[in-house]
A and B are shown apart, each in its own frame.
Chain A
Amino acid sequence: MKAIRKFISGDDAVAEAVRLASPDFIAAYPITPQTVVVERLSEMVEDGSLVSEFMHVESEHSALSACMGASAMGVRTFTATSSQGLLYMAECLPYASGGRFPIVMMNGNRSVALPWSIYGDHRDSLSQLDSGWIQIYVEDAQESLDMTIQAFAIAENAEVLTPVMINLDGFLLTHTYELVEIPEKDIVGSWLAPVDNPYAMNFDNPRNMGFSSQPSDNTEFKYQQHKAVEDSRKIILETEKSFEQIFGRSYGGLAAGFMCDDAEFIIITLGSVTGTCRTVVRELRKEGIKAGLIKIRFMRPFPTDEIIGLTTNAKAIAVLDRDISFGYEGTVFTNVNSALARTHNDILKMNYIAGLGGRDIPKESIREIFKELEEGLTTRPDKAVKFLNLNVETDEKYSDSEDNSTQHHREGVLLWS
């Protein structure tokens, strides 16, 4: 059987990737918008196209706990969740990373309650940024398939041994149908080495699992974990390179730049909105505006050097966050700002909170962001968090033409706060 092309959804693409990677153990609890992944995998196990132990569990907390047990024995494991499910298993996330269990998990990015919402944004996974997992964000169904396969290679690498979370925007990716190339199972099988975890539990050398640590040792364990995720950058790039050699596709490492070489105005994105932004950047280039785009593909480890390198000629950047850390700013913005603070203190940095709870981010709004970046070079607002397309009147003033804006602007409170 050769590689075939199928018209499938992002969820289907993840399930196909899992079939190709053939984990020995799967435990997952269905939740919108991830449900299709669990349905497909259970069907594959039922019809024999995937030989795997599929464990039915009563919750996400149990799903990840079961994966930890299986992973401790040195087998390949997979789970999938979304939103409230991710938060329900939150206790187990640092447990899995601290235990160095190389579990792969798909997360369908969805808003978190309250208000209850099944639609997409990044507030679920970004709330777990400090859980010790490697976090991947993808843009389309093909990248979902390719990165799910690569996620196993990254997580299980003996130098990494860290769980990987692969994030797909709820509905925009999980439920959108696209043409996806599905590689041959044999070729994936020979590319993806079998799990060889040197620290797996075995009967010949029995060990005590999950012991406690005293203040005298805890810091050393955390340092060791930090070092493993830091050093995973090299493994991530090597994995992408060898994947490209066999399958012919690559996505640009931890952060991919688009027309950034001479770009003066750059928008920085995470996930599916990247496609819309790329279209706008192309249009603006035709109009003579030096626009560029950075697609962050890994939030952990964070692409610090990549972002610094890609913004060398930038005068202003905008971070599009499908997230808000209440009382501060978008979490992606915080991370980008921290990276740029090392070298690029002079460039204008704006943060647009957009696409919360499934709201569309139209092309026109992205064009507007670029326009505001250009204007911002003269107005220089000192605080830069703005909710994009807020469909209601507020007492905050967002433009110079509005009443009292001059004073508000000078104080830097109301115009961009």
Chain B
Amino acid sequence: MNRPPVRKYIKPKHISDYPVGPSFSAGYLTSDNSGWRTLRPVIDNDSCTGCLKCYLCCPEGVIYPKEGKIDIDYDFCKGCGICSKICRNKVIKMEKEKK
């Protein structure tokens, strides 16, 4: 998976630094919509067989193999829990978000 990393958005200090009209370079996340997540999926990579069923079923496309492991992009994961439900080895646990 070749996902570009999210760039850090810094709110402009002066109005003249705002984009004129809503067009801007891509890759910025101005607000975490993952913020509505109450449970986060956590993968036990030692027990994971790498079947990639979670990768296929994730409705947000935020689960993917990375360096021999399965990784989750928590910037975009909304905590639906589908990955945890469909994992045949039960190695994805839903843990309470700590605020």
Does A213 make an interface contact (CB < 8 A)?
Answer: yes
Tell which of A198, A205, A211, A216 touches B22, judged by Cβ atoms closer than 8 Å. Answer: A211
Known contacts A214-B31, A227-B15: A72-B23 contact under CB 8 Å? yes
Does A7 make an interface contact (CB < 8 A)?
Answer: no
Does A327 make an interface contact (CB < 8 A)?
Answer: no
Known contacts A214-B30, A214-B31, A216-B11: A224-B23 contact under CB 8 Å? no
**How far is the CB of B33 from the nearest CB of chain A, in Å?**
9
B23 touches A161 (CB 8 A): no
Known contacts A213-B30, A214-B30, A214-B31: A220-B25 contact under CB 8 Å? no
A210 touches B11 (CB 8 A): no
B25 touches A207 (CB 8 A): yes
Known contacts A216-B30, A216-B31, A224-B15: A209-B23 contact under CB 8 Å? yes
Size range of the interface on B? Answer: 10 to 19
Q: Which residue of A lies closest to B17 (CB)?
A: A220
A98 to B20, CA, bound (A): 9
**How far is the CB of A44 from the nearest CB of chain B, in Å?**
30
> Number of A interface residues, CB 8 Å?
26
Q: Which of B1-60 contact A (CB under 8 A)?
A: 11-12, 15, 18-26, 30-31
A224 touches B20 (CB 8 A): yes
Q: Which residue of A lies closest to B27 (CB)?
A: A208
Chain A residues contacting B21 (CB-CB under 8 Å) are 98-101, 161, 199
A interface list, Cβ under 8 A from B: 72, 98-101, 161, 198-199, 201, 205-214, 216-217, 220-221, 223-224, 227
Going nearest first, the 4 A-B pairs with the smallest beta carbon separation are: A100-B21, A214-B31, A208-B26, A209-B23
